[in-house]
Amino acid sequence: MTSTDPRNPLESVARRRFLISSWPWRSAGYLLTTAGPALAAAVPFAVLALPWAAALSSRHGFGARTVFAALGALLVAGLGPLVALPLAGVERRRLRLVDTRPVTSGHVPASGAARWLRVRYGEAATWRELGYACLLLAAAPVLYGAFFMIALFVVGLAASPLLAGNGSGRAGEPLALGPVKIDSVAEALPYGAAGLVLLAALPYAAALLAGAHAALARALLGRGSGERLRAELVEVSRSRARLVDAFEAERRRIERDLHDGAQQRLVSLTLKLGLVRVELPPGSEAGRDVADAHEEAKLLMTELRELIRGIHPRVLTDRGLPAALAELADRSPVPVTVRADLPERLPPHEEGTAYFVAAEALANVAKHSRATRAALTAATRGRTLVLEVEDDGRGGADPGRGTGLTGLADRVAVIGGRMLLSSPAGGPTLLRVEIPCGRRSE
Amino acid sequence: MRPTVRVVLAEDGVLLREGLAGLLGRFGFEVVAAVGDAEALLAAAAEHEPDLVVTDIRMPPGFSDEGLRAAVELRRARPGLAVVALSQYVELSYAAELLDSRDGVRVGYLLKDRVVDVEDFVSALRRVVEGGTVVDPTVVRQLLRRSRDPLSRLSAREREVLALIAEGHSNSAITRILHISDATVGKHVGNILAKLDLPLTDDKHRRVLAVLTYLRGTA
């Protein structure tokens, strides 16, 4: 730890070079600037707490005092957060003076006045901040007051030889420093020496007080561990979604490049070969070679088209999910009926995921299920796309075996959807996928 | 000697457009205009009054079905105009829209990849120009897959013949393609039409439409 720089006053006081570091000054700055926000918050809080003053007064009966106490509590709890929230914001900024680690608020973003109020009053962070405000107003004056009294006393002690000299010269009265009375410079000298020693200790005390305050502020104004975890989770899932989005965009780019480039050229080349093939006498050697080349090129065309379809089918890009699902069903060896009831185009990523889920599911049906028919339905329920693949096969599909089904579930989970599978031994198998749409409308 | 067929060609891919223009020229078509988008297609068709329009379905600016829209519009303005639409993939709604325009006379719907079989492609174009209807065999195959009914009733050979009927082939052409006797083809065709309750006719154009209408009805 000694090799790293101290991060707050509490860590700094243990250092040998503390007194010549910036920490005493930072601590002093922190302590002095506490006055501003504390005073600014004190005024509204004093208003809110007025009923408490009435409750403490002995002029009222017990019942009335209880009512006043309750009213005060209600006011502080109800309106206090409105003061505590901005105060916390200022305090978090001020905390940078004595804390090198950034402290972030535990609030979740909320827009709109009604939603903002609902979210803020429901958050633990808000109530911690209210607690901080109350502590600041109740405890800080006492502790800070005591500290400044001591500081004043120590400064006075240190200056006592000078003061005693001046004082005796001016009025002849003894210099009074609390319980100590000093009559002459000579008498003041030991006090002065003690004062000087204590003066050197003053920065330590300031750092300890500032450090304690800062630690408390950090604990109450930052994120709680649950909030931190949630924030991290949100960030992780956001970055996962970004990754998958980038991956999806890359697929589309590759598909577009292949379609506009290689495929066009290949069709044109095959067309030319076809033309030459017609020109050449069919029996000749050149004729046979060109015919072979033409057939090869046609095979390559088919392969390239299949490849492109596997990356991202053109019909999906152009015509949307219902058309792509119908085409998928047409290519399945097991007869598939399709019912796609989608009023509008889905976002591209959701559309792509649904398509690939359906493709993989139908491939599974053909490979493993021994089904004689399958049904594919796609419909939107509210803002959720529900895709179902049902077959009359032997069932027993198990996500644990093989990676196909878990891969599907992962793919769906990335965009916040879920996959449900029912496949009892003997069948039938029903795969249901729910994909939220319009999740990322921004 | 057949009269020269005047063609307006619309395809946004430059390579394929040039290839197609060369191909058509080689086989005695006269390409009066070769354009790259639907707007230019409409303008060129208005200017040149061609006998045949060969158009890609998916073209700029929107890259959805601009070519098809233009083709349907041209057919509405000039009922006799022959139109062959080329598609990247089978889209039954596209085929249906074309076939529904002016009773499906002189229309063709082919997959783009067909163009590389130059002789088949050219003969399909000629059938359309001569008043026929040509539908890509993949369309028929899809319709057959989707229609629950005839699938169970037709034999594999009959389905093969059905696809050829839908492609606008005459009985004698089917004889040549499948290497079977005239009588056998006649028997298959009779069986198919009977099984599907379609009127028995040798008019290949009406046959195509009857078959397609039937399949679309059951799909």
> Could you report the per-residue pLDDT of A331-361, keeping only the tens digit for each?
888 888 899 888 888 888 889 899 999 999 9
Domain span at A60? 9-223
pLDDT value at A37 more than 60 = yes
What confidence tier does B96 reach under pLDDT thresholds 50, 70, 90?
confident
B173 touches chain A (CB under 8 A): no
Chain B residues 118-157 within an 8 A CB cutoff of chain A: 118-119, 142, 145-146, 148
Shortest CA gap A323–chain B (Å): 8
Mean pLDDT of A158-182: 67
In chain A, which residue's Cα lies nearest the Cα of B59?
A318
In chain A, which residue's Cα lies nearest the Cα of B219?
A337
Give the span between the Cα atoms of A304 and A350, in whole angstroms.
25
Q: State pLDDT tens for residues A416-429.
A: 888 988 888 887 88
Which residues from chain B sit within 8 angstroms of residue A302, using beta carbons? 113
Q: Is residue A207 part of a domain?
A: yes
Which residues from chain B sit within 8 angstroms of residue A273, using beta carbons? 116
Q: Is residue A233 part of a domain?
A: no
Assess whether A107 and A185 both reside in one domain.
Answer: yes
**This prediction's pTM:** 0.62
Instruction: Report the mean per-residue pLDDT for chain B.
Output: 84
In chain A, which residue's Cα lies nearest the Cα of B140?
A330
Mean pLDDT of A195-204: 87
Assess whether A263 and A333 both reside in one domain.
Answer: no
Assess whether A328 and A278 both reside in one domain.
Answer: no
A273 touches chain B (CB under 8 A): yes
What confidence tier does B201 reach under pLDDT thresholds 50, 70, 90?
low
Q: Is residue A179 part of a domain?
A: yes
* pLDDT, position B149: 59
* pLDDT, position A165: 65
Mean pLDDT of B63-83: 88
Assess whether A307 and A334 both reside in one domain.
Answer: no
Two tokens at A43?
A: 């005024």
What confidence tier does B147 reach under pLDDT thresholds 50, 70, 90?
low
CA-CA-CA-CA torsion sign (A169, A171, A174, A178): negative
Assess whether A212 and A110 both reside in one domain.
Answer: yes
Query: Are A298 and B116 a contacting pair at CB < 8 A?
Result: yes
Q: Is residue A107 part of a domain?
A: yes
Domain boundary among A174, A191, A223: A223
Q: State pLDDT tens for residues A43-88.
A: 998 888 888 888 887 777 888 888 888 888 898 888 889 999 999 9
ipTM: 0.82
Mean pLDDT of B68-96: 87
Q: Which of B23, B63, B92 sits opposite A271 (nearest CB)?
A: B23
Phi, psi for residue B34 in degrees, rounded to 5: -125, 115
Q: Is residue A441 part of a domain?
A: no
| C-alpha distances out from residue B70 to A258, A430, B89, Å | 27, 44, 19
| C-alpha distances out from residue A310 to A254, A300, A305, A315, A352, Å | 11, 15, 9, 12, 11
Residue spans of alpha helices (H) in A112-224: 113-121, 124-170, 185-221
* pLDDT, position A441: 39
In chain B, which residue's Cα lies nearest the Cα of A299?
B113
Assess whether A182 and A89 both reside in one domain.
Answer: yes
Assess whether A43 and A176 both reside in one domain.
Answer: yes
pLDDT value at B117 more than 70 = yes
Assess whether A359 and A428 both reside in one domain.
Answer: yes
Assess whether A144 and A43 both reside in one domain.
Answer: yes
pLDDT value at A169 more than 70 = no
In chain A, which residue's Cα lies nearest the Cα of B115?
A271
Q: Is residue A330 part of a domain?
A: yes
Q: Is residue A199 part of a domain?
A: yes
Domain boundary among A294, A311, A328: A311
What confidence tier does B45 reach under pLDDT thresholds 50, 70, 90?
very high
Q: State pLDDT tens for residues A354-394.
A: 999 999 999 888 888 888 889 999 999 888 999 999 999 88
A314 touches chain B (CB under 8 A): yes
Assess whether A173 and A273 both reside in one domain.
Answer: no
Chain B residues 70-99 within an 8 A CB cutoff of chain A: 88-93
* pLDDT, position A393: 85
Assess whether A295 and A343 both reside in one domain.
Answer: no
- Total structural domains within chain A: 3
Q: Is residue A44 part of a domain?
A: yes
Assess whether A82 and A150 both reside in one domain.
Answer: yes
Give the span between the Cα atoms of B118 and B137, in whole angstroms.
16
Determine how many CB atoms are found less than 10 A away from the CB of residue A306.
10
Query: Are B118 and A277 a contacting pair at CB < 8 A?
Result: yes
